[in-house]
Amino acid sequence: MTHQHVIDTLTAALADAPGIEALFLSGSYATGLADAYSDIDFVMVAQDGAIDAVAALWRDAVAQTGEIVLWWDRATVPVLINAITADWTRTDVIILKPEQMGHHTQAGLKPLFDHSGIYSGLQEAPAPATPNPQRFRYQVEEFIRLLGLLHLAAGRAEYINGVLGVFHLRNALVELMIEETAAPNRGGVLHLNRLISAEQKAVLEALPPPVPTYKGMVAAHLAYAQAYLPRARRRAAAIGVDWPERFEEVTWARLKDTLDIDRPYSPD
């Protein structure tokens, strides 16, 4: 079944369902950025919100599109249902009451049906994103904290845990790069290519893979520190965040004392 057929089937199944006021596409299908690998995101507006009866209506509708092989019913978020059918079509729905629609905008939704005219009352587009200095300071401090744990992983010969630490450092670097580009329509976690520049992608591709050995663990930590910290310093200066100089200083001192590691970049 094509994605458009899935959308049409769900729309037809719910358009006259009691208590259902509106159904919208959200995510990539609402913004025109969907491809053959996209999931299908919906926002459903129900008079009573995400109650069991409404969830049952949604399940019955999804069952018309194929055999349901995965069903997460309000498991992680009280209003979210995730489903996968046998052909691996992924559908997600957020079920809200009409008064809970205030944080949505017209730019992020595509009406499928809207009995109550909810769409017309929404703001056209979200306000432009602005930097969050407090959050950024936390991200930098967390990177330095994880870097400092290298001496612990090395001392205990916890090379597998060291590999896990590298993944955390990589996530921090990717997050920083996305903030640098400020790309619109960020989408889900599987849409990195459109969010970073060719230069950024080349940096990520050149970094060493995490290897669960002492040398591999140390080399990867240093490479990520060299890639992340100078960029983060520039970003901090640009958005007016005080750099945690003392914390970084003592962290490198600890790594020098325990592992004879020097800071791989100049902070000047």
CA dihedral 147, 152, 156, 159 (to 10 degrees): -10
pLDDT digits (tens, 9 = 90+) for 210-245: 899 999 999 999 999 999 999 999 999 999 999 999
- Which of 121, 149, 182 is where one domain is finished? 121
pLDDT digits (tens, 9 = 90+) for 162-182: 999 999 999 999 999 988 887
State whether 39 and 95 are in the same domain.
yes
Whether 264 maps to a domain, the answer reads no
Q: How many CB atoms lie within 10 A of CB 117?
A: 10
What pTM did the predictor assign?
0.81
Q: What tens-digit pLDDT sequence spans the chain (268 residues)?
A: 899 999 999 999 999 999 999 999 999 899 888 888 899 999 999 999 999 999 999 999 999 999 999 999 999 999 999 999 999 999 999 999 999 999 999 999 999 999 999 999 999 998 887 889 999 999 999 999 999 999 999 999 999 999 999 999 999 999 999 888 877 666 655 677 778 889 999 999 999 998 999 999 999 999 999 999 999 999 999 999 999 999 999 999 999 999 999 999 999 8
State whether 240 and 220 are in the same domain.
yes
Angle at 198 between CA 185 and CA 36, to 5 degrees: 50
- Which of 65, 98, 121 is where one domain is finished? 121
